Amino acid sequence: MAALTAALPSSPAAKAAVSSSVSPPCFLACPSRLRNASRGVRTAQVSTTETAEPAAPAPVKEKKISKKQDEGVVTNKYRPKEPYVGRCLLNTRITGDNAPGETWHMVFSTEGEIPYREGQSIGVIADGEDKNGKPHKLRLYSIASSALGDFGDSKTVSLCVKRLVYTNDAGEVVKGVCSNFLCDLKQGQEVKITGPVGKEMLMPKDPNATIIMLGTGTGIAPFRSFLWKIFFEEHEDYKFNGLAWLFLGVPTSDTLLYKEEFEHMAKIGGDNFRLDFAVSREQTNAAGEKMYIQTRMAEYKEELWEMLKKDNTYVYMCGLKGMEKGIDDIMVDLAAKDGINWIDYKKQLKKAEQWNVEVY
């Protein structure tokens, strides 16, 4: 598997770009963080023998306070008609030679003009025109870097992109426009960026939370951003003391994205980090079934259910749509044993911002 470190700039200028607030991460240092206004009293003309009673104050609708890190979050600063133009600083393949397809990690310059948060996405508009002579439509991608970025200076944004190539019913090879544009980018090339967008996948505010992350393939992107903030960075206003538990599902070991980084996190994270891989074409469970992400989770189903009963447990899911049903199948019976309807309970979790899904 190609190591990300091999493709990173090693010049003094590049190293100097890393903020002193960021501890040496795997990516850079090793192969392997007004109400009164609505309460005015109306008076009526009355006789000297009557006194007017004040009208009841208009009800004040309280603003919902989010459990997520949403203070000051910026959305849609840049739109398709006026995108931000950044440059490609790094583009390297991160899947092995025997992987079914290619996945690339890329870093773009932003000069701090795209103030994103962990869990948000950006749009990319590929160069060129479509068959009608119009600019290509934007494609959204989950951001794979923390808000500080891979170089720690808040001036870059990173993506994790799989090259889309398939054969249609007519036997023709079809290439995804935007994914191939991105995977083919060379250092210094311009990239049209929109956004940032999204609040669904923002991290919880509670530094003592249990964060369960379920990712398949490039759905790992937002969780890499979470985990960099938690384990590779130091922040005056945030120090994680909870549990971060990552489940990553892929078809082969050559497609275990950022494996060395996550294994390094496991070493430095101690009891605050748990890591489980599910490699469907190479691993099976005790019953001989293929090891999908829900299959791996089933091995911890009682423990996971107990966690889901707590109000400081947050589930984040990103990747293939099918995995949510697989997880539902696990939880239905467990919840029923406690007299709970899982589907209704999951709706409550969603309302409480504890069940967050971004699937495709």
Could you list the active site residues? 141-142, 318, 358, 360
**CA distances (Å), origin 67, targets 64, 217, 297, 355:** 9, 27, 25, 12
Phi, psi of 28 (to 5 degrees): -105, -35
For residue 52, give the DSSP letter: P
Among 106, 335, 359, 107, which residue's Cα sits nearest to residue 249? 359
**CA distances (Å), origin 304, targets 212, 245, 313, 327:** 9, 10, 10, 11
Contact criterion met (CB below 8 Å) for 111 and 75: no
Contact criterion met (CB below 8 Å) for 18 and 152: yes
For residue 317, give the DSSP letter: E
What is the rounded CA–CA span in Å between residue 126 and residue 179? 9
The burial of 112, by beta-carbon neighbours within 10 Å (0-12 exposed, 13-18 middle, 19 or more buried), is given as exposed
Kind and range of the H or E element at 13? helix 12-16
Q: Which residue's structure tokens are 């990690």? A: 105
